[in-house]
Structures are given as structure tokens and as C-alpha cells.
């Protein structure tokens, strides 16, 4: 029941011509939640990056997380968190540079990757 409610709330603000929900420190995001113009959220690091969390690059045989490449994937029990105030402010500044009509729901997996306390 809860997942369905979260999915409905997450979908209501997305689609062509609509901005995704505002990035704030009041909201929580899971790993790889995607915000167009900002990137993928890395929950253990409370920040967004252009490359998904634990992305594997076969050529270098390295994994990306928290702004760095390493020989093994990052292991953390943290898979949901809120961005820091600086990260939320930067994310909002980055996403306002994109024309409104280009916003569309995107990313990996389900639509229930974001939960707003205001939904």
C-alpha cells in the first residue's frame, strides 16, 4: 500500500512540460534517483553525480561512487538519505538551466525512488 502511494506521488509531478519535484533537504532519495540536469543521487554520500552509483566501467574494470572510481563496488547499508543543504541548493540551480519542456521522468527502475514529505 505504501509503495503505491509513493509511486502515485512521485508520478504526479513528472512528465513532459512539468518540472520534477524540487530537490530539498526535507526529502529523501534512494541510490540512483535521477534528476535531469543534476544527475544520479548517491545516498551514502548525500550528493548527485553524473554517473550512477556503483556503475561498472568494463574497460577500466572500476566502479564509480561518491565522485571516485575504485576497484570494488561501494558497500554501504545507507541506500536512502537527504541531500545536504549545499547539494540541494546546487541541484536546484543546475536544473533551472534546462528548458521546462525537456523535463521527463527518467532513470532506473520504479517510480517510487523519491519520497516527499509534502506529497
Burial class (CB in 10 A: 0-12, 13-18, 19+), 75: exposed
- Distance, in Å, from the CA atom of 69 to the CA atom of 102, rounded to the nearest integer, reads 30
With residue 15 as reference, give the H or E element that holds it. none
Q: Whole-angstrom Cα distance, residue 82 to residue 12?
A: 21
Task: For the beta carbon of residue 91, count every other beta carbon within 10 angstroms.
Answer: 21
Query: DSSP of 86-110, one letter per residue?
Result: HHHHHHHHHHTTS-GGG----SSS-
Residue 62 forms beta bridges with which residues? 57
pTM of the model: 0.66
Tens digits of pLDDT across the chain (119 residues): 444 434 334 444 444 555 567 899 999 999 999 998 899 999 999 999 999 999 999 999 999 999 999 999 999 999 999 999 999 999 998 876 655 444 444 444 444 445 444 44
Are the C-beta atoms of 98 and 92 separated by less than 8 Å?
A: no
Amino acid at each position: 500500500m505504501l509503495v503505491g502511494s509513493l509511486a502515485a506521488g512521485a508520478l504526479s509531478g513528472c512528465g513532459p512540460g512539468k518540472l520534477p519535484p524540487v530537490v530539498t533537504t526535507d526529502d529523501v532519495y534512494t541510490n540512483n534517483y535521477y534528476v535531469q540536469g543534476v544527475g544520479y543521487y548517491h545516498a551514502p554520500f548525500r550528493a548527485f553525480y553524473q554517473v550512477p552509483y556503483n556503475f561498472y566501467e568494463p574497460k577500466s574494470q572500476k566502479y564509480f561512487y561518491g565522485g571516485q572510481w575504485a576497484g570494488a563496488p561501494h558497500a554501504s547499508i545507507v541506500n536512502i538519505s537527504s541531500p545536504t543543504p549545499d547539494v540541494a541548493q546546487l541541484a536546484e540551480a543546475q536544473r533551472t538551466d534546462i528548458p521546462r519542456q525537456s523535463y521527463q521522468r527518467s532513470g532506473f527502475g520504479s517510480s517510487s525512488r523519491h519520497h516527499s514529505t509534502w506529497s
